[in-house]
Amino acid sequence: MDVCYILDKADTKNPALAQLEEALRGIRHTVRRLGVRGLTAEEIIAQEEAAPADCYLLKSRSPQAIAFARHFEQQGKLVVNNTIATDICQDRVLLTRSMQEAGIAWPRTLEFSSLNSLLADREWLATLTFPVILKNRHVNYRELARKITSLEDLEELVAEWGEEPCILQEFVPGDGWDVKAYSVAGEVFAARSRSPLDGRVSRVFQFEQDEIPQPWRDLVLSIGQALNMQIYGVDFLVTQQGPLAVDVNSFHSCYGVVGFDDTFVNWVISLLQERNGALAAS
């Protein structure tokens, strides 16, 4: 079977992908890289139309990559993760709604068309309790994530971020650590570091499998089920009320996470075998 790995840049260094390429060559599958940066969705579709892959691994989260993948998804090709979930994870307003509908522990969130529009409502701002977390609504290469402790903090961001669609998330005190969890095919890995919102640089400490509490696993897996995703990352805090998710990343790279690459490769191989068997039986 032919596997296509959709990336922003085809020459991206990715240990999991390199391991997958080597493993698939050994069992007569092929895996190729497709870089989409600088191309439109139409150009990518025309390039692929003559010989589409059997399976697309949607690592890139760019609009043209999602549109291209959706085209072949609608033709019955296997796309991981599905384009609906990938789209949701790029829009924190849609993501918040999905998490709330699924009953996931998630901070209260307000949306604004821009930072300028947020600051224009002085009457409402007078009622705002600090601190809060400010993030851009749309996930992109210019990431806005700030702990805001005063109105002055917001005003200082106007010059750079004034027209940016944004959200305010409720600030919920945690234990001083940010936990990043990664899941592939139902397996969960987790690591923690000091929160970057406090301006601290911290080492990352990975948990052993038997150190990951069951409530953490339950939270991570319930998010995957809610979005029908197989490969993803979850950022969460450990609070007095339990783990609280604050962000979800589709198809996380998981660099340096011990055990992830092997699990990822084995899962892709089993996925292809299952897909191959289903096609042969049809």
Instruction: Give the model confidence (pLDDT) of 166-182 as tens digits.
Output: 999 999 999 989 999 99
Q: Binning pLDDT at 50, 70 and 90, where does residue 199 land?
A: low
Q: Is the pLDDT of residue 51 over 90?
A: yes
Q: Identify the residue whose tokens are 């490969």.
A: 231
- Which residues contact residue 20 at a Cβ distance below 8 angstroms, ignoring those fewer than 6 apart? 3, 5, 31, 264, 265, 268
Q: pLDDT-derived band of residue 223, with 50, 70 and 90 as boundaries? A: very high
Residues in the chain: 282
In the block, residue with structure tokens 């059997």? 54
Cα angle at 250 between 22 and 81, to 5 degrees? 65
- Mean pLDDT score across all residues of the chain: 93
Rounded to whole angstroms, how far apart are CA atoms 158 and 223? 33
* pLDDT band with cut points at 50, 70 and 90 for residue 201: low
- Tell me yes or no: is domain 109-170 CATH 3.30.1490: yes
Q: What CATH class is the domain 90-105+174-250?
A: alpha beta
Average pLDDT over residues 56-83: 96
Q: What percent of the chain has pLDDT over 70?
A: 97
Q: Alpha carbon of 237 to those of 163, 185, 243: distances in Å? A: 29, 23, 6
Give me the mean pLDDT over the 246-275 stretch.
91
What pLDDT, on a 0 to 100 scale, did the predictor assign at position 114?
98
Look-up of token digits 């600090």: 130
User: Is the model's pLDDT at 234 over the cut of 70?
Assistant: yes
Which amino acid makes up residue 121? D
Please check whether the domain covering 2-81+260-281 is classified as CATH 3.40.50: yes
Residue 29 has pLDDT above 90, yes or no: no
Average pLDDT over residues 245-267: 92
Element (H, E) at 231: strand 231-239
**Extents of the domains making up the chain:** 2-81+260-281, 90-105+174-250, 109-170
Q: Can you tell me the mean pLDDT for 157-163? A: 97
Sign for the pseudo-dihedral over CA of 241, 242, 247, 248: negative
- How far apart, in Å, are the Cα atoms of 126 and each of 1, 9, 121, 122, 213? 60, 46, 9, 6, 40
